[in-house]
Structure 1
Amino acid sequence: MFACGVSTATYANEAFDSCIVTLKQKAVDAGISTKTIEQTLGQVKYVTRVIELDKKQPEFSQTFNNYFSKRVTDWRVQEGRRLLKKHHQLLLQLQQTYGVPPQYLMAFWGLETNFGSYKGKMPVIDSLTTLACDPRRSTYFTGELIQALKLKEAYKFETSDMVGSWAGAMGHTQFMPSAYAKYAIDADGDGKADLWNSTADALSSAANFLHQLGWARNERWGREVKLPDDYDYQFLGRKDKRPLVKWAELGVRKADGNSLTTPDMQAALYLPAGHTGPAFLGYNNFDVIMRWNRSEFYAIAVGHLADRINGATPLYVAPPKHDNISRDKLKLLQTKLNEKGFDVGKPDGVLGANSRAGLQAYQRSVGLTADGFPSDETFSRMGID
Structure 2
Amino acid sequence: MPVSRRAVVCGGSAILISGCVPAMRSAVSAPGRDDPAMRAVPNAGYDAWVAGFRTRAEAQGITAATLNAGFRGAGFLPGVVERDRNQTESSRGLQDYLAIVASDAKIATGRDRLRRQQALLNEIEGQYGVPARLVAAIWGVESNYGQRRGAIPVISAVSTLAYDGRRGAFFERQLIAALRILQRGDVSAARMTGSWAGAMGHTQFIPTTFEAYAVDFRGDGRRDIWSDDPTDGLASAAAYLSRSGWQRGHPWGLEVRLPDGFDTGLAGRGGARAVSVWSGMGVRPAAGGALPDHGAGSILIPAGLTGPAFLVFRNFGVILRYNNSQNYGLGVGYLSDRLAGGPGLRAAFPPDRFGLSITDRQTLQRRLTDAGYDTGGDDGVIGPRTEAAIRAYQQATGLAVTGEPSQALLRRLR
Q: CA 1:47/1:211 → structure 2, altered by over 3 Å: closer, same or farther?
A: same
2:245 maps to which of 208, 211, 214: 214
1:165 maps to which of 192, 195, 211: 195
CA distance in structure 1 between the aligned counterparts of 2:96 and 2:129, rounded to whole angstroms: 32
Greater alpha carbon shift after TM alignment, 74-83 vs 265-274: 74-83
What residue is the counterpart of 1:272 in the other structure?
302
Q: CA RMSD in A?
A: 1.7
Q: What CA deviation, in whole Å up to 9, does each residue of 1:246-290 have, x standing for no partner?
A: 111121110123221234x11111111122111111111110111
Given that 2:81 and 2:160 are in contact with CA atoms closer than 8 Å, whether structure 1 keeps it comes out as: yes
Deviation at residue 131 of structure 1 after TM alignment: 1.0
Greater alpha carbon shift after TM alignment, 265-274 vs 169-178: 265-274
What residue is the counterpart of 2:121 in the other structure?
91
What residue is the counterpart of 2:323 in the other structure?
293
1:82 maps to which of 112, 135, 142: 112
Aligned: 1:231 with 2:245? no
What residue is the counterpart of 1:68 in the other structure?
98
1:116 maps to which of 129, 146, 150: 146
Given that 2:272 and 2:299 are in contact with CA atoms closer than 8 Å, whether structure 1 keeps it comes out as: yes
1:179 maps to which of 206, 209, 221: 209
Percent of aligned positions that are identical: 38
What residue is the counterpart of 2:50 in the other structure?
20
CA distance in structure 1 between the aligned counterparts of 2:186 and 2:289, rounded to whole angstroms: 55
Q: What CA deviation, in whole Å up to 9, does each residue of 1:120-141 have, x standing for no partner?
A: 1111111100111122211111
What residue is the counterpart of 1:188 in the other structure?
218
Q: TM-score, normalised by structure 2?
A: 0.72
What residue is the counterpart of 2:83 in the other structure?
53
Deviation at residue 79 of structure 1 after TM alignment: 2.0
Greater alpha carbon shift after TM alignment, 206-215 vs 46-55: 46-55
Return the letter of the residue paired with 1:108.
Answer: I
Return the letter of the residue paired with 1:254.
Answer: P
Find the residue that maps to 1:242 and give its secondary structure. Answer: coil
Deviation at residue 105 of structure 1 after TM alignment: 0.7
What residue is the counterpart of 2:136 in the other structure?
106
What residue is the counterpart of 2:65 in the other structure?
35
CA distance in structure 1 between the aligned counterparts of 2:89 and 2:216, rounded to whole angstroms: 41
Q: CA 1:42/1:235 → structure 2, altered by over 3 Å: closer, same or farther?
A: same
Greater alpha carbon shift after TM alignment, 305-314 vs 63-72: 63-72
Deviation at residue 220 of structure 1 after TM alignment: 0.3
Q: CA 1:25/1:94 → structure 2, altered by over 3 Å: closer, same or farther?
A: same
What residue is the counterpart of 2:173 in the other structure?
143
Given that 2:129 and 2:242 are in contact with CA atoms closer than 8 Å, whether structure 1 keeps it comes out as: yes
Deviation at residue 217 of structure 1 after TM alignment: 0.6
Deviation at residue 17 of structure 1 after TM alignment: 2.2
Q: CA 1:156/1:243 → structure 2, altered by over 3 Å: closer, same or farther?
A: closer
Q: TM-score, normalised by structure 1?
A: 0.78
Return the letter of the residue paired with 2:64.
Answer: T
Find the residue that maps to 2:271 and give its secondary structure. Answer: coil
Deviation at residue 301 of structure 1 after TM alignment: 0.5
Unaligned runs of 5+ in 1: 1-11, 325-385
Deviation at residue 43 of structure 1 after TM alignment: 4.0
Given that 2:70 and 2:182 are in contact with CA atoms closer than 8 Å, whether structure 1 keeps it comes out as: no
Return the letter of the residue paired with 1:281.
Answer: L
Return the letter of the residue paired with 2:284.
Answer: R
Greater alpha carbon shift after TM alignment, 254-263 vs 89-98: 254-263
Find the residue that maps to 1:290 and give its secondary structure. Answer: helix
Deviation at residue 72 of structure 1 after TM alignment: 0.6
Report matched runs for 1:310-349 at 5 Å.
310-323=340-353
Return the letter of the residue paired with 1:218.
Answer: G
CA distance in structure 1 between the aligned counterparts of 2:348 and 2:154, rounded to whole angstroms: 39
Return the letter of the residue paired with 1:30.
Answer: Q
CA distance in structure 2 between the aligned counterparts of 1:286 and 1:133, rounded to whole angstroms: 36
Given that 2:102 and 2:331 are in contact with CA atoms closer than 8 Å, whether structure 1 keeps it comes out as: yes
Given that 1:271 and 1:277 are in contact with CA atoms closer than 8 Å, whether structure 2 keeps it comes out as: yes
Given that 1:63 and 1:322 are in contact with CA atoms closer than 8 Å, whether structure 2 keeps it comes out as: no
CA distance in structure 2 between the aligned counterparts of 1:143 and 1:222, rounded to whole angstroms: 35
Given that 1:65 and 1:320 are in contact with CA atoms closer than 8 Å, whether structure 2 keeps it comes out as: no
Find the residue that maps to 1:256 and give its secondary structure. Answer: coil
Deviation at residue 321 of structure 1 after TM alignment: 4.2
Deviation at residue 240 of structure 1 after TM alignment: 1.2
CA distance in structure 1 between the aligned counterparts of 2:47 and 2:117, rounded to whole angstroms: 47
What residue is the counterpart of 2:5 in the other structure?
none
CA distance in structure 2 between the aligned counterparts of 1:59 and 1:269, rounded to whole angstroms: 25
CA distance in structure 1 between the aligned counterparts of 2:261 and 2:289, rounded to whole angstroms: 18
Find the residue that maps to 2:218 and give its secondary structure. Answer: coil
Find the residue that maps to 2:260 and give its secondary structure. Answer: coil
1:261 maps to which of 286, 292, 295: 292
Q: CA 1:24/1:236 → structure 2, altered by over 3 Å: closer, same or farther?
A: same
Q: How many residues in Structure 1 have an aligned counterpart in Structure 2?
A: 312
Where does structure 1 differ by over 6 angstroms across 4 or more consecutive aligned residues? Answer: none
1:203 maps to which of 234, 247, 252: 234
CA distance in structure 2 between the aligned counterparts of 1:322 and 1:275, rounded to whole angstroms: 14
Given that 1:266 and 1:283 are in contact with CA atoms closer than 8 Å, whether structure 2 keeps it comes out as: yes
